[in-house]
Amino acid sequence: MKYLSTRGGMDPAGYGEILLEGLAPDGGLVVPEELPRVSAETREAWRGLDYPSLATEVLSLFATDIPRDDLARMCRDAYAVRPENFVDPAVVPLVPLGDVDPRLSLVGLSEGPTLAFKDMAMQFLGQSLEYVLRRSGRTINILGATSGDTGSAAEYALRGKEGIGVFMLSPQGRMSAFQRAQMYSLTDENIHNIAVAGVFDDCQNLIKQLSGDLDFKRHHRLGTVNSINLGRISAQIVYYFWAWLRQTDALDAAERETAQVSMTVPSGNFGNILSGHYARQMGVPIRRLVLAANENNVLDEFFRTGIYAPRASAETFLTSSPSMDISKASNLERFIFDLLGRDPERLAAAWRELDETGRIDLSDEQPRFAEEFGIVSGSSTHADRVATIREVHETSGLVIDPHTADGVKVAREHLEDRVPMLVLETAKPAKFPEIVVEAIGASDPLPEHLSELLDLPQRVTAMPNDEVQLREYVEARAV
């Protein structure tokens, strides 16, 4: 398996190399030369596997330059069930929401060390980055941006790792108190937290500016763990296979041959649902991929109209589902690349249109979003989130976080007879106590091992939205 850039200016590279690169050298995003296909027979052969073993099978299709035994060990270590790692024996449990609607279930992606779905990819990425670096004798400085959960998941996966420095940018005042505490309380010497005056998109733009300076990038060995890193996308594909397999376990062999599910994905930077798009192309029987947005509904507008019009930082709302407060979704480039026939020239023309006009008009292609790619969308508001958290709690006894509530609300707008709807859970509700208290009158308790986290001292560097200052900061502390 080789990898190319969406913009056509990169020589084919292997999996280990693209793990270290993040953005392609030409400023594009790395994509597989061709997605592997998984037959129905192979899917059935995988049915009895536990999560680490399934991860080994799926990731072996992408990481063809890593020996299988080494890959299997990394997957076992990444998805080990122990108190400080994944706490549910299944790693990813499916939780029916039958009292809300018999067609609804949650895909439990928040059983990892930072209580958020980002752990599913980050734990593998931490293992694989350290492996590739050790094998090559290199070091790397991870430059990342977070709107809430990516940062803590990355830092917990990479803290103390040999040969890895982490520089994580977060928007000042735009994360929950728990999210800040998870990141800023870490004292590992290789972890550097930077709170930028601005929104997530400003943090993401700073990363692109430094990564786009190829001399600076190579001299300081910059990489990324944002979802622009294809290693994260590939690791997230695993749980789409897993969810379909678990949902269809009770069916007989004949029923499985035609069994489809739909999946709703709360989405900000389009990375998680892009993994579902790839999983569907690989052979997971997904009827609909439902994108759920909050008030920052640029992606919902795109999938409803075909017009992509990112908003400026000042127009990005601060919401009660803060991890989705994003107005410019980096991973959409990978989807548009597929939409335009994987043609770098057509993609470049679309990006020129964006630069010149502030938007891309693909309205002529919009009917294909649902017909060919199965993608539909919807939006949610604060009032919707509160009402959904309350209803789910009253009917099922479960407490969900606000991002998952966005997903449940939008999922119910796209339910179909005899098609199960799986909503990808985003995080534990204890990370967002204010809206949970508003909805049900009480907060969801933190796990015991994290109960004192909010009381720990925090270490963070405040910084203006300034490329020069960030460049100097990284230069002084790079490994």
Instruction: Classify strands 191-196 and 222-223 as parallel, antiparallel or unpaired.
Output: unpaired
CA atoms of 17 and 404, how far apart (whole Å): 34
The letter for the amino acid at 250 is A
Assigned token pair, 266: 């709360």
pLDDT surpasses 80 at 161: yes
Q: What is the pLDDT of residue 353?
A: 97
pLDDT-derived band at 416, boundaries 50, 70, 90: very high
Which among 64, 79, 68, 71 has a CA at the least distance from the CA of 17?
Answer: 64
pLDDT-derived band at 447, boundaries 50, 70, 90: confident
CA atoms of 294 and 399, how far apart (whole Å): 19
Whether 108 and 88 have beta carbons less than 8 Å apart is answered as yes
Assigned token pair, 97: 């929401």
What would the DSSP string read from start to end of 203-246? HHHHHHHHHH-HHHHHHTTEE--STTSHHHHHHHHHHHHHHHHH
pLDDT surpasses 90 at 315: yes
pLDDT in tens, 327-386: 999 899 999 999 999 999 999 999 999 999 999 999 999 999 999 999 999 999 999 999
Dihedral over Cα of 154, 295, 330, 38: its sign: positive
Cα 165 to Cα 32, 459, 463: the distances in Å are 27, 16, 19
pLDDT surpasses 90 at 246: yes
Q: What is the pLDDT of residue 63?
A: 98
pLDDT surpasses 80 at 103: yes
pLDDT-derived band at 203, boundaries 50, 70, 90: very high
pLDDT in tens, 175-199: 888 889 999 999 999 999 999 999 9
Which among 277, 276, 237 has a CA at the least distance from the CA of 63?
Answer: 237
Give the 3-state secondary structure of residue 143: strand
pLDDT surpasses 80 at 144: yes
Whether 30 and 24 have beta carbons less than 8 Å apart is answered as yes
pLDDT-derived band at 83, boundaries 50, 70, 90: confident
pLDDT in tens, 4-36: 999 999 999 999 999 987 788 898 999 999 999
Domain boundaries, the chain: 94-115+236-448
Active site residues: 118
* Stated pTM of the model: 0.93
Domain 94-115+236-448 has CATH 1.20.1250.20: no
The rounded percent of the chain whose pLDDT value lies above 90 is: 86
The rounded percent of the chain whose pLDDT value lies above 70 is: 100
Phi, psi angles (nearest 5°) of residue 40: -60, -35
Average pLDDT over the chain reads 95
Q: What is the pLDDT of residue 459?
A: 94
Q: What is the pLDDT of residue 68?
A: 97
Whether 478 and 209 have beta carbons less than 8 Å apart is answered as no
The letter for the amino acid at 443 is S
Top pLDDT among 13 and 228 is at: 13
